[in-house]
Amino acid sequence: MQNANGTLLLNWTSEHVAAFGQRALVAKHRLDELQLFSDAGLVEVLHAHPRDQLQAFTMGKDASNVQEWQPVDISGVSAEDMLAAIARGRLWFHLFRMQHTDGRYKKLLDQLFVEISQFYPRLRPVNLSATLIISSPKALVYYHADPQFNFLWHIRGSKRLWSYPAGDRELIDQQMMEDIFASYADEEVPYKAHFDEKAQVFELKPGDVIWSPLNAPHRVTKLEGLNVSISTVFETEESYRRKLVYSANRFFRRSCGIPTYSTRETGAGSYIKRSAFKALQKLGVVPDAHRRAYVAQVRLDPTAPNGIRRISGGPVLTEFSKREFTLKKNAVGQATAVPIERS
């Protein structure tokens, strides 16, 4: 998995290390030199990747209209046709947990983080996971914030990324952050055009890797070419502690009526709140992380002008959701996704 020089990271400096988690930064890497990300390499993984670990979406052109973002059914479509549809449509594919399904990605992930640890020995990534993102030349990613740390390795095509300051309540209010940490929200964060005045804008080319402070909101528009990136997400002690604080606030306030608002991550009060929440989680009192059903009204079609067509006969459950949900139709034909009960 190594290039001629044996390393995957380039031009990382002590400045990058010092700024980790403080501000958005871009450095260089060499993943774009690997055959793994050629069209043939992408077809191979699209063919082999488990369908309950693969999400496909389509979207509109307006960054503030998240309603246009919708799941796409890919059942029965060949990997070659998927790639052809991505190249011509407005599509966005997420292949989760690549390190579990493809040994080459596991090796790549291991090598990247061994090299990162040489620059940043104090980084202790937990639950590290790699998502392969393949998207159309004009696709967009709506405004959102992630609950974990992330390095985004850009490999093919070009894109523009807006990175906004973390912790600014005008950009994402506290209640929305709680919903993000508790998995009740992702791309539904309200976005206003004037937020852009606070953003740093990056044009990412193949060989760029970007990382932002924890929970910093961001959005992306693709500029040209089929876009390929790997998102490597991970927890740290810091991100886990913050997740507990926000999730505890959400649970105690909304489920127990206790007015918990403090977002302090240190001190006795914070410690007691986090410990009580963890204990209640263990006892099964806190509901499990919210899972949503992805129901598709459109199906991938490489012959359609935008790569999709409407499904005749009503919506279907995407393969991503089939392990956990089933679709039930009522007397007038309306479909509702229902969780599968397991004994």
Q: Which is nearer to Fe ion, 162 or 246 (CB)?
A: 162
Does residue number 186 form part of the binding site for Fe ion (CB under 5 A)? no
Least separation in angstroms between CB 146 and Fe ion: 4
Least separation in angstroms between CB 66 and Fe ion: 14
Q: Which is nearer to Fe ion, 1 or 176 (CB)?
A: 176
Beta strands in 292-333 (DSSP E): 295-296, 298-300, 308-310, 316-317, 325-329
Stretch near Fe ion under the rule CB under 5 A, chosen from 143-151, 158-166, 196-204, 266-274: 143-151
Closest CA to 72 of 300, 293, 315, 316: 300
Binding-residue total with Fe ion (CB under 5 A): 1
Give me the residue whose beta carbon is nearest to Fe ion: 146
- Measured from the Cβ of residue 231, the count of other Cβ atoms closer than 10 Å reads 17
Stretch near Fe ion under the rule CB under 5 A, chosen from 33-41, 111-119, 141-149, 243-251: 141-149
Encoding tokens for residue 126? 């937990």
Least separation in angstroms between CB 234 and Fe ion: 13
Does residue number 146 form part of the binding site for Fe ion (CB under 5 A)? yes
- C-alpha span between 341 and 58 (Å, rounded): 30
Residue 156 CA neighbour count, 13 Å, CB half:
20
Least separation in angstroms between CB 337 and Fe ion: 25
Least separation in angstroms between CB 205 and Fe ion: 19
Does residue number 188 form part of the binding site for Fe ion (CB under 5 A)? no
Beta bridge partners of 91: 58
Closest CA to 327 of 319, 313, 341, 338: 338
- Distance between start and end Cα atoms, the chain: 44
Q: Which is nearer to Fe ion, 37 or 149 (CB)?
A: 149
Least separation in angstroms between CB 118 and Fe ion: 26
Q: Which is nearer to Fe ion, 91 or 300 (CB)?
A: 91
Stretch near Fe ion under the rule CB under 5 A, chosen from 145-153, 169-177, 196-204, 325-333: 145-153
Q: What are the DSSP calls for 85-132, one per residue?
A: HHHHSSEEEEE--HHHH-HHHHHHHHHHHHHHHHH-TT---EEEEEEE
Q: Site residues (CB under 5 A) for Fe ion?
A: 146
